[in-house]
Amino acid sequence: MIGTSISPRNENFWQVIQSYYLLTKPRIIPLLLITTTASMFMAGKGTVDPLLLIMTLLGGTLAAASAQTFNCVYDQDIDYDMKRTRKRPIPSGRVQSNHAIIFGIFLAILSFSILVIAVNLLSALLAMTGIVFYMLIYTHWLKRHTSQNIVIGGAAGAIPPLVGWAAVTGDLSWSAWALFTLIFLWTPPHFWALALMISDDYAEVGVPMLPVVEGVESTVKQIWIYTWITFAFSLIFIYPLHSAGFVYFSFALILGLTFIYKAWQLLQQPEKKDCAKSMFKYSILYLMLLCSGIVVDSWQLSHQLTDSFDRQIMALLNLWLNFC
């Protein structure tokens, strides 16, 4: 009779694999890949080579995993002090720092190699820039020294759309930089909502997140302002860039107004962590669905719908002008 139990050696092996996997903070990566995908479909006007898409997303995944691994190494002291993060692989002792550094370097080299060979040099360089910016600018310089850390540091999370655009076109257009800016503007209300939920943890380890330094009410007001700016900027793809059409406009309008409503609810009850949690969760859904709107809008059927809508608008406008 063959036994079904797992041997201690195999169990230890899978525990090691799981520990290194958790070093990469895998829950963060899918959102980065969604923004990359949206950028590629917008750049390709709805047509993207499947192999190119897979290789770009694979390279992007490895780059993001590398950045998060280095972040875990650098932040191991505060991760140990915070109850929320004490069980992460390094502070818990499951992975040694020097091994994590080697793992992060390996991921970065693998990411660069895949992007250079299967995509292009520009996308590879942009991915490496994201790792360097996240580590040197955000993690090392900003995170522990200024309450504006996430505002400036948000640029690191906004690089994946540039990687995606460069993968398809080999260059960076105004629309690519607009996607970068949209993610950059979206990051503060998204992350500050999270910071409101765990502000006590940040205060305990001396990380100057906005709620810790300037208080809850000031943070909520900043979230309100940035949410409005994000919504307004999301419409730039309609005009003046003309890189998206009616389908995207519908997504941006409905999602954006709901985003503003969530921010308004938080503004009315700044001390209520449930409101901050709702804002945080919706901010993720907002970006995911907005990127989905970009993809759907790029399809040929959506172009036909947009053209039909434009013709109807022009007909109504001409009718009104003739009437006047």
CA-CA distance, 110 to 131, in Å (whole number)? 13
Which tokens hold the place of 168?
């398809």
pTM: 0.89
DSSP at 94: S
DSSP 134: I
Give the CATH class of 21-304.
mainly alpha
Rg (alpha carbons) of the chain, rounded to whole number: 22
Spatial CA neighbour of 91 closest among 77, 105, 103: 77
Crossing angle between the packed helical segments 50-74 and 160-169, to the nearest 10 degrees: 150
Q: What parts of the chain have a pLDDT lower than 70?
A: 1-11, 300-324
Two tokens, residue 323: 């009437």
Token duo for residue 272: 């209520």
172-187 burial string, b = 16+ CB within 10 Å, else e? beebbebbbbbbbbbb
- The backbone region for 238, taken as left when phi is positive above 0, alpha when psi lies in -120 to 50, beta otherwise, is alpha
C-alpha closest to that of 180 among 248, 220, 233, 255: 233
Q: Which of 307, 72, 276 is nearest to 192 (CA)?
A: 276
C-alpha distances in Å from residue 101, one per residue of 73, 90, 156, 219, 257:
7, 11, 20, 35, 43
φ, ψ dihedrals at 36, nearest 5°: -65, -45
| Distance from chain centroid for Cα 10 | 35
Nearest-angstrom CA–CA distance, 300 and 261:
32
State residue 85's pLDDT score.
84
Nearest to 111 by CA among 57, 34, 48, 42: 57
Structure tokens at 102: 């080697």
pLDDT of 322: 67
CA distance 76 to 124: 28
Contact criterion met (CB below 8 Å) for 65 and 57: no
What is the per-residue pLDDT for 26? 94
Q: How far apart are the first and last CA of the chain?
A: 91
Residue (of 259, 71, 69, 241) closest to 165 by Cα position:
241
Token readout for 194 is 């999270």
Q: Looking at residue 81, what is its pLDDT?
A: 85
Q: Domain ranges in the chain? A: 21-304
* CB under 8 A, 24+ apart: contacts of 105-109: 105/66, 107/24, 107/62, 107/63, 107/65, 107/66, 107/69, 108/62, 108/63, 108/66
Residue 190 CA to residue 277 CA, distance in Å, equals 10
> Which of 135, 137, 133 is CA-nearest to residue 146?
137
23, two tokens: 């070093």
Cis before residue 240, ω within 30 degrees of 0? yes
Q: Which amino acid is at 37?
A: T
